[in-house]
């Protein structure tokens, strides 16, 4: 049986069901906590850490933390805002993100967060890792340079037998996203669309169609990332 509990986020009292994920409870209450790897309904990976908050004084990922009674959550503090900004900067320097030439520009969550957190010059040096483009399959391009290792595609894009099209290869600085090109020969249109949609950056792009959404109509052309959640309160 579900149990109702109360706790606070940035001083605001919230009522929720015990065990719900903090990031989702926050969203239901009009409090935006950014996510890059989380996707509602999919087992959390906790890999990007952009959803970090402080709970009772300790840093924790809100996408993997179930809510409990009397938790004191800090999210919108200068310390946490700067930590999130540092993560965004790290993601930008670790890959090769040339936004003006990317089809996901305007629809990209990483770019959206860069704007939201007012990223200017990253505090970290650029790595300029060289990663290859995988363009040999009929339905999608895999632009490994833009991957931020969120694992959404690995967890969500599967064939009828439950086999994953995507997997990680290598370790440390040599880690990269990989596509099972044999399996992807028969990737459905539906999976190709979904893969592009759930990728929070421009690492997965569909072939045959390009720039379907014109400039001016893209997700973040008029509203900043997170506003759909924050506007719930208005
Ligand atoms: Fe929570 Fe990525 S969204 S760790």
Q: Which atom of ligand 1 sits closest to the CA of residue 44?
A: 1
Q: What is the CATH number of the domain that holds 113?
A: 3.30.70.20
Q: Say how far apart CA 91 and CA 116 lie, in whole Å.
A: 15
181 falls within a domain = yes
What range defines the domain where residue 130 resides?
86-215
Q: What is the CATH number of the domain that holds 42?
A: 3.10.20.740
2 falls within a domain = no
One digit per residue, the tens of pLDDT, for the chain of length 234 reads 789 999 999 999 999 999 999 999 999 999 999 999 999 999 999 999 999 999 999 999 999 999 999 999 999 999 999 999 999 999 999 999 999 999 999 999 999 999 999 999 999 999 998 899 999 999 999 999 999 999 999 999 999 999 999 999 999 888 999 999 999 999 999 999 999 999 999 999 999 888 888 899 999 999 999 999 998 754
Q: Which atom of ligand 1 sits closest to the CA of residue 37?
A: 2
Could you identify the residue written with the tokens 């669309």?
193
Calculate ∠ Cα 149-151-153, nearest 5°. Answer: 120
* Ligand 1 atom 3 nearest Cα: 35
Q: How far is the CA of 211 from the centre of ligand 1 (A)?
A: 28
Which pTM does this prediction carry? 0.95
14, 30, 40, 70 from 67: Cα distances, Å: 10, 16, 16, 9
Name residues contacting ligand 1 (CB within 6 A): 35-38, 46-51, 61, 63
Contact 90, 47 (CB under 8 A): no
């Amino acid at each position: 049986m579900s149990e109702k509990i109360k706790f606070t986020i940035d001083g605001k009292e919230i009522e929720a069901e015990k065990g719900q994920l903090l990031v989702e409870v926050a969203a239901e209450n009009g409090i935006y906590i950014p996510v890059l790897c989380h996707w509602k309904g999919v087992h959390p990976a906790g890999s990007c850490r952009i959803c970090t908050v402080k709970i009772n004084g300790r840093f924790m990922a809100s996408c993997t933390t179930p809510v409990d009674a009397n938790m004191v959550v800090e999210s919108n503090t200068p310390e946490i805002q700067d930590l999130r900004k540092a993560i965004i900067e790290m993601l930008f320097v670790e890959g090769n993100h040339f936004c003006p030439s990317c089809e996901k520009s305007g629809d990209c969550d990483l770019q959206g967060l860069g704007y939201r957190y007012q990223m200017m010059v990253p505090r970290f040096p650029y790595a300029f890792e060289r990663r290859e483009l995988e363009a040999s399959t009929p339905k999608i391009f895999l632009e490994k340079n833009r991957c931020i290792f969120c694992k959404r595609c690995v967890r969500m894009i599967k064939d009828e037998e439950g086999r994953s099209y995507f997997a990680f290869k290598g370790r440390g600085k040599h880690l990269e996203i990989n596509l099972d090109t044999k399996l992807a020969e028969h990737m459905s249109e539906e999976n190709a669309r979904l893969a592009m949609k759930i990728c929070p950056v421009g690492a997965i792009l569909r072939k045959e169609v390009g720039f379907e959404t014109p400039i001016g109509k893209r997700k973040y052309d008029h509203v900043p990332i997170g506003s759909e959640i924050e506007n719930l309160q208005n």
